[in-house]
A and B are shown apart, each in its own frame.
Chain A
């Protein structure tokens, strides 16, 4: 399953709402995860099963979607949220990631 993530980068300001989309090459059940990665660090799980918030992750992060289209939304962007975000289909092997979305400061 190929995962196409868009946009590849976005410029936003603190307080903004940011939406990132992942489109799958074929439909699957909601086994989709979202990760945040900061430079030089390992990825961090934000969302699993398309819409479940990982423990300890702020509620401004939310996930939605099913079938072939999935979305990560950040409501009220904070300074610590500037990072690169990846989706990952967790439905079947080979596991695949989206190409990433870099959220930059406007």
Chain B
């Protein structure tokens, strides 16, 4: 069936940087598109970024464009989210999610928590 496991979250000051990682296992990683989705405390889901199977095609939400960079390493079954110039409003649980049918997400990680605070 497979799984996704995120890591890299933590407490960071405003303006700081953090890199999230998501390691996949149990499925053909290089064949799948992946996304990052976040959820602020007590709030709904917000899509953050997408990366195609080859890593060439990438999309970002307007709220993170220019600050976040998504990348992947198919040799190591990993996808990353480099987050720069972090703001308080970036505080959230960040989920890695696998694309299934067109752009629906059939597999999610357990999430990693990012807190931006001084």
Tell me, rounded to whole Å, the shortest Cβ–Cβ distance linking B62 to chain A.
Answer: 7
Give complex CA distance A91, B23 in Å: 26
Give complex CA distance A33, B108 in Å: 14
Partner of A49, one of B60, B95, B101: B101
* Given known contacts A94-B47, A96-B47, A97-B45, A45 and B100 CB-to-CB distance under 8 angstroms: yes
Give complex CA distance A78, B111 in Å: 27
Judging by beta carbons under 8 Å apart, are A90 and B47 in contact? no
Interface of A is mostly: loop
Give complex CA distance A99, B70 in Å: 25
Contacts of A45 in B (CB 8 A): 100, 104-106
Tell me, rounded to whole Å, the shortest Cβ–Cβ distance linking B18 to chain A.
Answer: 20
Output the nearest chain A residue to B101 by Cβ-Cβ distance.
A48
Give complex CA distance A42, B94 in Å: 10
Q: Which residues of B contact A (CB under 8 A)?
A: 35, 44-47, 50, 59-62, 95, 100-106, 108-111
Q: Which residues of A contact B (CB under 8 A)?
A: 31, 33, 35, 37, 42-45, 48-49, 52, 54, 86, 88, 90-91, 93-100
| Listed A/B pairs (10) with beta-carbon separation below 8 Å | A42-B95, A43-B95, A88-B45, A88-B47, A94-B47, A94-B59, A94-B61, A95-B50, A97-B46, A97-B47
4 closest A-B pairs by CB: A90-B103, A42-B108, A33-B104, A95-B47
